[in-house]
A and B are shown apart, each in its own frame.
Chain A
Amino acid sequence: MTRVRVNGDGQAMVRKVEHPGVDTDVLLEWYRSMVFVRHFEEQAERSFRRGKVGGYLHLYIGQEAVAVGVLGAIRDDDIIFASYRDHAYVLLRGTDPGAVMAELYGKATGVCKGKGGSMHLFDVQRGFYGGYGVVGGHLPLAAGAAYTLRYDHGGDRVCVCFLGDGAMNTGAFHEALNLAGLWGHDGLCPLVLVVENNQYGMGTSVPRSSAVPALASRFDAYDIPNEVCDGMDPEVVYDVVRRGVDEVRRTGRPWAVETLTYRYAAHGAADLLQPYRAKTEVQEWRQRDPIAQTEQRLRHAGALDDAKVEAIAAEAERRVQEAVTFAEASPEPAPGELYTDVYGDERQRER
């Protein structure tokens, strides 16, 4: 299994130990998912460049192993909160890619009727409680949601909260985690915190933004058990998170994992020059590309060959193009939609 230690300088040292041994069928499914997410994101960027997608666009390219591993380790009735870099989670939860693309296009058929956009995807029916644009601002929501899961029915659902390395320096992070730690003492906060340490918050690296770059250690301050793991390998993420989630389900206490990952993509689609990192650094991380790694493993196991790799890519591209066609053909939101969804009871609006 691949586990990661962090040395005194906060530099991650990845150590291969053994493979956890996920079924080949499962791994193949994850491979398909990662390929699909990447194709979706690449298309989203093309659509942005063509002026079809507006605003900010934060892509997930490079980080696919985290979403795939985490979502593979939880149940359909668990719930999820996330930041604005949120396309992968809804796609993996099974939301119709056409409705996701249509949301990016600002169309009436989008998951949020075109009112949220890329940063505010929602699919409450599938337990996805949003995409939030203020860094760290969603952490308290996730802690409160976790409390609710144990408030009346005492079930064993968990709430997963994805956050970036940068979010760990916000006040909301610390206030929410102290509350989560406290409530966890009473078994009332089944919160799974997944830090996606992609090494940067926009252009500011972790060592330049965090006095202690070994980020996971911060959870100790709030009595939240935590681990660090390789975030480029879906099997490792899955294995670590599955065990963490089991524990959270059993105890109602929060648990955190810092996944070490990387976005090859620009921070947002407008981040063109990237003066904060060397091209060679991106190349180095690409050596451990989650899709390529998984592909190799599957080829080795005899589950993939050139033809199958091509077929999977073609199928992903077909689904993405279908989503684009749907988004393009979809109508703009009706002008009357401007005033709906402000209040639950619309009669309560201005009299």
Chain B
Amino acid sequence: MPELTYRDALKSTLVQEMDRDPRVLLMGEDIGVYGGTFLVTEGLLARYGPKRVIDTPISEAGFIGCGIGMAMLGLRPVIEVMTWNFSLVAADQIIQNAAKIRYFSGGQAGVPMVIRGPNGAGVQLSAQHSQALESLYGYFPGLFVAAPATPADARGLLRTAIRGSDPVIFLENASLYGLRGEVPDEEYTVPFGQAAVARHGRDVTLVTHGRTLHMTLAAAAQLAAGGVESDVIDLRTLRPLDMATVVESVRRTHRAVVIEDQGGLYGVAGEVMAGIYERAFDDLDAPVVRVSGEDVPMPYARTLEVLAQPNEAKIMEAVRRTVA
């Protein structure tokens, strides 16, 4: 199996899908001439021309709304947001139009569209450029929310997203673009709503998604050295949310810790915990614990930013409390 970076897994998948289907087109700020803020679309303008790789003005509501209209008419736009923070100025288009058109049209129109870009914090971008938005978009029926943590899943989930018939919120992360990993050669897809078990263990279930998978795996490795074996579940998509895999694991381990980047209130971890309590309460030997970002706007100073985010030590501490 070849090794690819997360960035190259995304880019090569875009190329494969654009070669396969002429209806797939790209749109976003500085994705063409400039090559993409994180270089995911570098070289694609030269390959496909300006009709299929559209450099837009700084008009998120405008071009995301245009993507919705294109999708309704049968194209498959893949739209890059420079970061998910800027999607908030297009929240009306995403939430009020993309998510709901199929429903209020009684199934007459659909919006097969992908919006992708980096989500969350980690590189000292401070408060306005560090928001993690999975629970916001996860709230809305009609949207799918995917958050690949590995190059292989970046490819498989992006392919599912592009080939599907509904709007997909595709959450990447700046710190993941350089990550290397094995990516299968064959034309595979990763279905939505199917979590991955990233590590097997019998003592505790660790549930996470996106960037925090990697610190969770590092913590699990250290815990194993101390004799605590973790089942690590990577949710991969947050809507649909694969509670079946989580519950199955908790029934075996009787303990769970849920890890997420965003603040703990009204978040993904809270949702997962509620699902565990609803479906596996009697199997629990200890309260479920969550490790979330701190409940503050993201600070700039590196030392404060580190404090505001989950990390290996916090995860290990939470696990120790749970298995104690």
Choice from A81, A141, A152, A341 contacting B106 with Cβ under 8 Å: A341
A172 close to B (CB within 8 Å): yes
Q: Could you say which residues of chain B place their CB within 8 Å of the CB of A202?
A: none
A147 close to B (CB within 8 Å): yes
Q: Could you say which residues of chain B place their CB within 8 Å of the CB of A134?
A: 92, 96-97
Known A151-B51, A172-B92; contact A344-B164, beta-carbon cutoff 8 A: yes
Choice from B61, B92, B104 contacting A115 with Cβ under 8 Å: B104
For the residues of A in contact with B, the DSSP-based class is mixed
Known A344-B102, A344-B112, A344-B165; contact A171-B193, beta-carbon cutoff 8 A: no
B107 touches A113 (CB 8 A): yes
Closest to A125 in B: B108
Closest to A149 in B: B73
A115 touches B66 (CB 8 A): no
Q: Could you say which residues of chain B place their CB within 8 Å of the CB of A146?
A: 69
Q: Choose among A114, A122, A144, A146 the residue with the greatest number of B CB atoms under 10 Å from its CB.
A: A144
Q: Could you say which residues of chain A place their CB within 8 Å of the CB of B194?
A: 351
B63 touches A140 (CB 8 A): yes
Q: Could you say which residues of chain B place their CB within 8 Å of the CB of A186?
A: 50-51
The residues in B between 63 and 78 inclusive whose CB is less than 8 angstroms from any CB of A are: 63-75, 77
B59 close to A (CB within 8 Å): yes
Choice from B59, B74, B75, B102 contacting A175 with Cβ under 8 Å: B59
Q: Could you say which residues of chain B place their CB within 8 Å of the CB of A174?
A: 62
A176 touches B66 (CB 8 A): yes
Choice from A144, A340, A351 contacting B65 with Cβ under 8 Å: A144
B43 close to A (CB within 8 Å): no
Q: Could you say which residues of chain A place their CB within 8 Å of the CB of B22?
A: 152
Known A342-B102, A348-B240; contact A129-B166, beta-carbon cutoff 8 A: no
- 0/1 interface trace, chain A 137-154, chain B, CB 8 Å (1 if under): 111111111111101100
A188 touches B105 (CB 8 A): no
Closest to A340 in B: B107
A141 touches B104 (CB 8 A): no
Choice from B74, B105, B164 contacting A116 with Cβ under 8 Å: B105
Q: Could you say which residues of chain A place their CB within 8 Å of the CB of B51?
A: 151, 186, 188
The residues in A between 117 and 144 inclusive whose CB is less than 8 angstroms from any CB of B are: 117, 120, 122-125, 129-130, 132-134, 137-144
- 0/1 interface trace, chain A 318-348, chain B, CB 8 Å (1 if under): 0000000000000000000000111111001
A100 close to B (CB within 8 Å): no
Choice from B73, B89, B107, B142 contacting A148 with Cβ under 8 Å: B73
Q: Choose among A120, A133, A342 the residue with the greatest number of B CB atoms under 10 Å from its CB.
A: A342
A129 to B60, CA, bound (A): 22
Known A116-B106, A341-B107, A345-B165; contact A141-B92, beta-carbon cutoff 8 A: no
A297 to chain B, nearest CB (A): 38
B96 touches A112 (CB 8 A): no
Closest to A139 in B: B65
B190 to chain A, nearest CB (A): 13
B109 close to A (CB within 8 Å): yes
New A-B pairs, 8, CB < 8 Å, besides A137-B97, A345-B165: A130-B109, A133-B96, A140-B64, A143-B65, A144-B68, A178-B59, A345-B164, A345-B166
Rank and list the top 8 A-B pairs by shortest CB-CB distance, nearest first: A140-B65, A175-B62, A144-B69, A344-B165, A144-B66, A112-B106, A141-B69, A175-B59
Task: List chain A positions with a Cβ less than 8 A from chain B.
Answer: 79, 81, 110-117, 120, 122-125, 129-130, 132-134, 137-149, 151-152, 171-172, 174-176, 178-179, 182, 186, 188, 340-345, 348-351
- A-B CB contact pairs (8 Å), 5 listed: A130-B104, A140-B93, A141-B66, A174-B62, A348-B193
Task: List chain B positions with a Cβ less than 8 A from chain A.
Answer: 22-23, 25, 50-51, 56-57, 59-75, 77, 89, 92-93, 96-97, 101-110, 112, 141-142, 144, 164-166, 192-194, 240-244
